[in-house]
Amino acid sequence: MSPLTKIAFAAVLAALAGGASAADLGKSLEVLGSVGPRGAGNEAAAAAWQEVARSDAAELPMLLAALDRANPLAANWIRTAIDAICERTLREGRSLPQTSLEQFVLETAHAPKGRRLAYEWLLQVDARAEERIVPQFLHDPSLELRRDAVARLVAQAESAGGPKETIELLKTALDAARDRDQVDTIAKSLKKRAIQVDLVRHDGFVVDWWVIGPFDNTGGKGFRAEYAPEKGFDPQAEHPGKHGPVRWRRFSSDSPEGQVDLNKALAEEMEQEKEREIVGYAAAEFHSAEPLAVQIRTASVNALKIWLNGELVDEHEVYHGGSVFDQYKAAAILQPGRNVILVKACQNAQSQDWAEVLSFQLRVCDEIGTAVHSQQKPGG
């Protein structure tokens, strides 16, 4: 056998043993990434999956990175291929590329699902990885990884040497917590220790408003009607309401949950207490130092419309269907300087006691729920 033949033969054996080349692997990943609903692309994906699953563990960073742009269906194919590679590698008595996996876990630019998968496999081969890595997740953009770090701090607080250390650990955990169950649990622990917790500020609820109403929602017509407040916010303006002229007035909610109670805010203008078939508006000025992508998150048992600077960003014509924290999420862009958030809340004709509520919560935050606060106080 000539030297060139030996080299070619060795290359073939290496390819068979180690899986596809980087170029071929990239093509197979493209096939997996093209799967769609109703089985679209599944036949080609099944063949590509076999190629990917035969890859060497050294290719794991490339496969994990493919999860960054994968749709949910494609992610399932890629994730199971990664699992197959890791399981085979460990079954054969070899180790996974620990350094590469750890680097991937800590690269926050990657998608959370890929980082989490890398972390879970790293734990299989590095018993000390959790102790070393989890503290670095405390301010991570991945909610799932951040949750681990918050839970670790809470556990440390429970076993701390003294009350002062416990409180400091709980405060740090609360500042970092974004999942509602963790926030509520930590706040409860702090309150038990006589520590005041301002969840309105932690969550970024807007509680200082201008309000006006009531307007007419007889037969539900008010949700689609364009009443005067929707045409521009002028706090000095007077508009025709359901029962006569109405004017804007200031209202600040003192609810610890950030609830804005329009029954309370508009009580003087209502013909009867907790009137039905009405529309109420609330407007808030929100100042930003720069253009900023945010989410406007709301919750209400009433039908809602939300505008930012005159642009409709969210609407839900649902009455008394239940309400949960961060029920609705809408992407929006704050402009530099003054912004105006306008809320339209509609009450229907239901007469039951439980249907008397006319209120909402609204907060401004980033994509993982970190509060974004106005850079200027109301009236400032």
Could you read off the pLDDT tens digit of each residue along the chain, which spans 380 residues? 443 333 333 333 334 444 556 778 989 999 998 888 887 888 899 999 999 999 999 999 999 999 999 999 999 999 999 999 999 999 999 999 999 999 999 999 999 999 999 999 999 999 999 999 999 999 999 999 999 999 999 999 999 989 999 999 999 999 999 999 999 999 999 999 999 999 999 999 999 999 999 999 999 999 999 999 999 999 999 999 999 999 999 999 999 999 999 999 999 999 889 999 999 999 999 999 999 999 999 999 999 999 999 999 999 999 998 899 999 999 999 999 999 999 999 999 999 998 999 999 999 999 999 999 999 887 65
* pLDDT of res. 5: 39
Question: Exposure pattern of 70-99 as b/e (b: 16+ CB <10 Å)?
Answer: beebbbebbbebbebbbeebeeeeeebbee
* pLDDT of res. 38: 81
Identify which of 113, 11, 8, 126 has the alpha carbon closest to the alpha carbon of residue 63: 113
Q: How far is CA 227 from CA 213, 281, 303, 322, 346, in A?
A: 10, 10, 15, 26, 12
E-assigned strands of 155-228? Answer: 208-216
* pLDDT of res. 8: 36
* pLDDT of res. 379: 66
* pLDDT of res. 3: 39
* pLDDT of res. 148: 98
Identify which of 183, 328, 213 has the alpha carbon closest to the alpha carbon of residue 280: 213
**Are 284 and 209 in contact, with CB atoms under 8 Å apart?**
yes
Neighbours of 291 (CB within 10 A): 9
Residues 26, 32, 35: CA angle, nearest 5 degrees: 145
